[in-house]
Structure 1
Amino acid sequence: MQRNAQTHYPILLVHGLLGFDVIGSISLFHDVRQALRNAGARVFVPQLSATHSNEARGAQLLAQIERVRERTGADKVNLFGHSQGALAARYAAAIAPTAVASVTSVSGPNQGSEVADVLRKALTPGRLPEQVAEKVAILFANFLSLMGAERGMQQNAIAALNALTTEGVATFNDKYPQGLPEIRGGEGREKVNGVGYYSWSGVLQNNLPDGGLNTLDPVHACLCALSRFFVTEIGQNDGLVGRFSSHLGKVIRSDYPLDHLATLRQPGIAARHGIDPIDLYVQHAERLKNAGL
């Protein structure tokens, strides 16, 4: 059966920290973009700094929203932000609500990341560990640029880390509260200033570190290890972001059996649970289409 996800407004897929559009033959959003296009959507992937603050990446996103609007003739765009991309999308919608039809947060740290808190405490400001960590992160970001990802974009690893801590996101939220729940774990307003707000995310399954098809996935194993640093959302996180920290606007679901990066790809464990992470994007585009967005 042919799917119809032909939204009224174009869709922009916004990557998060250390994300990219294309490196060589690898595209971060390849499967998502292709699935959406196959279902009739107009899809674009903006280029943002791999490492920088939420506001800096949001300003970059705003500039590229304007290019998409000029190219397509559309008045507005739908923003799908993965991880830190959700914060850039929120910034853009708060600054220019007339240019944004909707913001969808996918595994977004909308109340901050407890892993970022741990890293921030471990890296003493101004001392060698922080300088080394920043250098490594910038070298990696520059490597992504050399490989063809986000060429020429400025990088600032420490600004990115600070922007993702609970304190950093709280400061960001004070300025741009649109769509946030009033109570942690609740839902926010679905529409603010004419912009629709939605979110979904996943939770690591308790049995994954001990077995399952994802056990041999080194990225998944790393996320399982990072999940042990959570204090507030123990057992209720995707390895980088807490379940309730991800809530924004209308919550589609926040406990899919998916780790932080699995919301971009099809892992074995998701197939076992009957979850297709890629199809979640198509389903949501259909939802936006039915809402006239």
Structure 2
Amino acid sequence: MKKIISYLSFLLLVSLLTGPVQAAALQQYKSNFVLSSYARTKYPMVFVHGFGLGFNQIGTESIGLDYWYQIPQDLSRHGARVFSAELSAVASNELRGEQLLMQIDEVLALTGQKKVNLIGHSQGGPTIQYIEGVAPHKAASLTAIAGAMQGTPVFVNASQTPLLEPFIHAIGTILGYSMNLATGNQYPVSMIEALHAMNPEAIQAFNMKYGSAAIPRNCQSQGSKLTPNGIYHYSWMGNRQATNSLDAIESPVVTLGNSFLKGEANDGALPLCSGRYGQIIRQDYAHNHFDEVNQFFGILGPFVQDPVALYRQHANRLKLQGL
């Protein structure tokens, strides 16, 4: 727990030293030079963060931290038109989905396109799934990176530990308001709604209302790559926990998460079963839940797959699909 508090303190320190980013929720990435058209998709790409770390960028381009560390920048250098959305860090899937919908409309207005390619990490998975439920005509594809499509029992199991539930609520609430301080925005914060959004039992009702055939019925089945509404679906995730002893921030968090998953194959935060969605590219990358977005600061285990390259390859996959 002390490591988690240290981690929150680190984020606050970065924000205080560099100053909050501008209050605009949507961020566009533009490269000063273009190396190729390898990642130039037909529709713009919109990245959607998960629970807790509700920011596009803390600090500045030169001194700061991106949620999707160096990934949008690389895609932009390879021809993609890339945006990242900034949503409530600690809130329900529906609230976050409505916030995302407004930012999608902004992207469509800026680009003149009719659709976007959505990429969501962790709780960003159900968040982009909400868009398919309420505005399917605005989505060309949905990609879940370790998406919590079936929720995660981490917080449910942790809250059953004596005296731990109040601590979880306190940490989540502090984290939500810390992200508001770091970003200069004032998003709603509700740890109760966030926990409900990730509860495996509660998310079944969410999937009944907003889900699609891309979400498999169980851990042994596959979801649909292409659903009748014309939307393509993809997913991938890692299956490791602590991956680099030099990463003193990430390793204790995912190790703690793994301890509450009670033996299920996982990435330190989510069971592999929860991340199954659409066309499953892989579920065995040597990444944990933070490595999947190239955090922190690109510190990875030795001889592992480069997360930045995986996103570049996926952009090319979407391009070849005509998306």
TM-score when normalising by structure 1: 0.89
Q: Which amino acid aligns with 2:300?
A: G
Equivalent runs, 1:99-178 vs 2, <5 Å: 99-122=138-161, 130=165, 133-148=168-183, 151-178=185-212
- Aligned counterparts of 1:154 and 1:63: Cα–Cα separation in 2: 16
Match of residue 224, structure 1, among 238, 243, 255? 255
Structure 1 ranges of 4+ moved more than 6 A: none
Change in CA separation of 1:131 and 1:225 when aligned onto 2, cut-off 3 Å: closer
2:318 aligned residue: 288
| SS of match in other structure, 2:289 | coil
Contact 1:58/1:89 (8 A) holds in 2: yes
Q: Which amino acid aligns with 1:204?
A: R
Equivalent runs, 1:20-99 vs 2, <5 Å: 20-24=55-59, 25-99=64-138
- Residue 168 of structure 1: how far off its partner (Å): 1.9
2:265 aligned residue: 236
- Aligned counterparts of 2:121 and 2:216: Cα–Cα separation in 1: 19
**RMSD between aligned residues:** 2.0
1:246 and 2:275 are equivalent in the alignment: yes
- Aligned counterparts of 2:218 and 2:202: Cα–Cα separation in 1: 19
Q: Which amino acid aligns with 1:29?
A: W
2:299 aligned residue: 267
- Aligned counterparts of 2:116 and 2:39: Cα–Cα separation in 1: 14
Deviations 1:78-130 (A, max 9, x none): 00000001110000122111001010000111111121221343489xxxx65
Note the residue ranges of structure 1 that are not aligned, 5 or more in a row: none
**Equivalenced residues, count:** 278
| SS of match in other structure, 1:142 | helix
Contact 1:23/1:144 (8 A) holds in 2: no
Change in CA separation of 1:165 and 1:228 when aligned onto 2, cut-off 3 Å: same
- Aligned counterparts of 1:199 and 1:74: Cα–Cα separation in 2: 24
1:200 aligned residue: 236
- Aligned counterparts of 1:71 and 1:96: Cα–Cα separation in 2: 18
Q: Which amino acid aligns with 1:35?
A: D
- Aligned counterparts of 2:143 and 2:319: Cα–Cα separation in 1: 14
Contact 1:263/1:278 (8 A) holds in 2: no
Contact 2:158/2:260 (8 A) holds in 1: no
- Aligned counterparts of 2:220 and 2:52: Cα–Cα separation in 1: 27
Contact 2:43/2:140 (8 A) holds in 1: yes
Deviations 1:194-247 (A, max 9, x none): 111110001016xx5xxxx6023231233123212223xx25100110112100
- Aligned counterparts of 1:98 and 1:75: Cα–Cα separation in 2: 8
- Aligned counterparts of 1:224 and 1:140: Cα–Cα separation in 2: 19
Note the residue ranges of structure 2 that are not aligned, 5 or more in a row: 1-34
Deviations 1:12-64 (A, max 9, x none): 01000012112112221241111111111001111100000111101111111
Q: Which amino acid aligns with 2:106?
A: R
Change in CA separation of 1:3 and 1:203 when aligned onto 2, cut-off 3 Å: farther
- Residue 135 of structure 1: how far off its partner (Å): 3.8
Contact 1:51/1:155 (8 A) holds in 2: yes
- Aligned counterparts of 2:86 and 2:119: Cα–Cα separation in 1: 14
Report the identity percentage: 35
Change in CA separation of 1:30 and 1:222 when aligned onto 2, cut-off 3 Å: closer
- Aligned counterparts of 1:14 and 1:64: Cα–Cα separation in 2: 11
TM-score when normalising by structure 2: 0.81
